[in-house]
A = this chain, B = another copy of it.
Amino acid sequence: MSDTPGTSAGTGAEDYEHPISHEDFRQLGYKMIDAIVDYRSNIEKHPVRSEVAPGYLAEKLPESAPTQPEGLDAILSDVQTHIMPGITHWQHPSFFSWYPANSSYPALLGDMLSSALGVVGFAWIGSPAATELETVTLDWLARFLRLPNAFLSTGTTGGGGVIQGTASEAALVALLAARARPLDGRDPGADGPRLVAYTTDQAHSCVKKACAVAGIQHLRLLPTSAERGWALDPATLEAAMTADEGHGLMPFFLTTLIGTTSSAAVDPVAELAAVARRHGAWVHVDAAYAGVFACLPDQHDLYFQGLEGVDSFSTNPHKGMLVTFDCSALWVQNSFWLRTALSLEPQFQFAGLRHAAEHLDYKDWQVPLGRRFRALKLWFVLRMYGTERLQAYLRHHLDMAKALAQLVEADPAFDIIATPRFGLVCFAPRGASEEESTALLERVNASGRTFMVHTRLGGRHVWRLAVGGVHTQWRHVEEVWALVQKVVGGGEA
């Protein structure tokens, strides 16, 4: 086909024929479904961590895109030959790195529908259903996690939820809302208050990045300690805020943590929020990984008290709750400052709560303009699992982590380094030097039979085993534990 098809100016252009018709797609779609079932049901045949060398792919692929259409078979063949070796298999049941990003079939079905609809719900009229289903499903999720009523769209404070891509974006927009409050219409930084943000030395790097992006110069990474379980002491926060105020700075933003990246530590949120509120700061809770465990009554009682006193709360259903990445939930008790920070329409910006109730444009709750219809995958997961199965699923991971922690504790060759919480167990080979510990973990990972990453706690090289894969059963945890014992005992992986 020529790149300049004939046209008849004034009467119209030639019809364009897609290389794939609706009926072609039906067959190709079935084939892709089969390929997905094949991948997921045979995933254990792959090494967990990719072992390719940097730059492996470019030499295997052509320099330029093809001029003529290629078929799905050719592409799937290249996926097997060239892409799969470069995949680290996050859905492998023996993947225990970072935190999980589990991806489920119901989420996949919801996302297929989202792609097929192809709507961009930046404003309500872009597709009212995309906006309103997001509001509804985040209310569902808030009720499931027993969040305070003020976080629901049906509350009386102008609150509600929104889906961000990642917890990084949730932290950034919370920070921007927090900044809008003391500025109250003034240009940021134009002889305005010298703002200072707070979190702990255990915070996810996204807090530092949010400050860097927003141009916030003062961020305190307050110290934590092993003695307090890597949680922030409210007295430390009080002292820091008071000292900063004494130097003419204005505390404006606290990020407190439920389930830290490193060791799943939990801050005393209620006490910290009380301190921050006294000093006028916005309180954001980053529960990116752990927040979904609030659906379990005992976990809620232990770790999720005092949320009435915080301004924003975020957790990622795309981590432990089966909603394929990306789906990070953010709730605010009042969306006014979020919209003030992020709306560019002055006529709406200061119209207060009424606007939100009439006609909600989620572009004013996020940094980007465009947005996918991500509520569908969350809706599919909540409905196709149902809340009791989701609770059982998360309980299953808790139970496995607890059982693993008991095995580690019973073995004199290992130390448990932090209190096991949620699905995470942090441990280290007893008496091993930094170099030895690093080399042993690499031997475990190089086996291809699992993948864990390390963290650093109190200066020590610590192994993190995060249970939470979509296909993970107890036998996988047992296997990796046997492997770890063998390697640390001097055996071959």
- Nearest residue in B to A22 (C-beta to C-beta)? B41
Give the distance to chain B from A161, nearest Cβ to Cβ, in Å. 13
Q: Tell me the dominant secondary structure on chain A's binding face.
A: helix
**A172 touching B367 by the CB < 8 A rule?**
yes
**Contact B166 A368, beta carbon cutoff 8 Å:** yes
Residue from the list B18, B209, B369, B395 in contact with A104, Cβ < 8 A: B18
* A126 CB-CB contact with B under 8 Å: yes
**Contact assessment for A54 and B128 in the assembled complex, using a CB-CB cutoff below 8 Å:** yes
Q: How many copies does the complex hold?
A: 2
**A15 to chain B: which residues have CB within 8 Å?**
396, 473-474
A20 / chain B contacts, CB cutoff of 8 Å: 104-106, 384
How far in angstroms is the closest Cβ of chain B from A33?
3
A156 and B70 CA atoms in complex are apart in Å by: 31
Whether A65 touches B382, Cβ cut-off 8 Å, given contacts A119-B90, A325-B372, is: yes
Which stretch of A129-137, A237-245, A413-421, A457-465 is in the interface? A129-137
Residues of B close to A72: CB separation below 8 A: 109, 384
Q: CB distance B140 to A118 under 8 Å?
A: no
Residues of B within 8 A of A13 (CB): 396, 399-400, 403, 474
Task: Please report the C-alpha to C-alpha distance between residue A25 and residue B113 in the assembled complex, in whole angstroms.
Answer: 15
Given A36-B113, A86-B129, A217:B205 Cβ within 8 A: no
Q: Determine the residue in chain B with the shortest Cβ distance to A451.
A: B125
**Cβ contacts under 8 Å, A204 to chain B:** 369
Partner of A58, one of B136, B297, B400: B136
In the complex, what's the smallest C-beta–C-beta distance from A382 to chain B, in angstroms?
4
Nearest CB to that of A344 among chain B residues? B205
A393 at the interface (CB under 8 A from B): yes
Q: Smallest CB-CB separation from A62: which chain B residue?
A: B140
With a cutoff of 8 Å between Cβ atoms, the chain B residues found around residue A102 in the complex are 118
Knowing A116-B36, A217-B190, A400-B13, the reply to whether A83 touches B129 (Cβ < 8 A) is: yes
B contact residues around A220 at 8 Å (CB): none
- Give chain B residues whose Cβ lies under 8 Å from the Cβ of A67: 386-388
Whether B22 and A40, one on each chain, are in contact in the complex, defined by CB atoms closer than 8 angstroms, is yes
A327-366 vs B: 1/0 string, CB under 8 Å? 0000000000000011010000000000001111000000
Asked if A79 is an interface residue, CB under 8 A from chain B, the answer is yes
Sample of 16 more A-B contacts, CB < 8 Å, known A12-B403, A91-B117: A12-B475, A13-B396, A16-B392, A19-B389, A20-B384, A29-B108, A32-B113, A57-B136, A64-B387, A75-B380, A86-B129, A90-B119, A101-B370, A107-B115, A188-B217, A326-B370
Subset of 18 A-B contacts with CB under 8 Å: A1-B388, A2-B392, A10-B403, A10-B410, A16-B473, A25-B37, A29-B29, A52-B128, A52-B129, A57-B128, A63-B143, A86-B133, A88-B126, A88-B128, A89-B119, A168-B367, A169-B368, A212-B344
